[in-house]
Amino acid sequence: MKNRVGENWCQNHLADQQVYRLLEKVDGDLVAEAREPGCVHCQGRLDRSDYARKPRGGPQWEVRFSLCCAREGCRKRNTPPSVRFLGRRVYAGLVVVLVSAMTHGLKPERVQRLREALGIDRRTLERWRQWWLGRFVNSSFWRDARARFMPPLDHQTMPLSLCLSFAVQGCERLVDLLQFLAPITTPTAWSAFVM
Ligand SMILES: [Zn+2]
């Protein structure tokens, strides 16, 4: 059971408009929360300032929720964490997580089918795989977070081990997993995750 991966749960989530709407709603909460304390640079008032961001493969989202400082002389952008967008990845966060997880459990032909259905080329998927196994597991974010997983997660099968630990077959649990990853999705945090 431990290593069994349902192709189904992946495909179900990716085809589920309700999951997309739920994630959008959670992002709405995250931007509202980030707005309250004010600008991280000067505590100035933050105004809504969303920007265009259309992820490839899957959800038809149009914008990333964001904020801008209203104070003259600062006016800096404050982009809150997101459960929809994983840093600068052009695919939605759930696509990056779920399809990467599939590479550890499914037969290559099935991975290929899934990849082609979502328009992800082979090199992109390989890059994601390397990122989870390298940059992600070696990040300070993961070093701080991994202690809360008992038994410890297998790094060799990331992010499948993470998905199984969260039991992402269920929609709410998938949202929990994406919320767990949300701190690394802001432009500032993401800079530590790219070359
Ligand atoms: Zn400011």
190 Cα–ligand 1 center, Å: 20
38 Cα–ligand 1 center, Å: 8
40 Cα–ligand 1 center, Å: 7
The confidence score (pLDDT) of residue 195 equals 57
Indicate the length of the chain as a whole number: 195
CB count within 10 Å of CB 145 equals 15
Render pLDDT for 115-162 as a digit per residue (tens, 0 to 9): 998 899 999 999 999 999 999 999 999 999 999 999 999 999 999 999
64 Cα–ligand 1 center, Å: 20
Rg (CA), the chain: 17
Distance CA 57, CA 110 (A): 17
Grouping H, G, I as helix, E, B as strand and the rest as coil, residue 62 is coil
Please give the model's pTM, rounded to 2 decimal places.
Answer: 0.90
Distance CA 195, CA 61 (A): 27
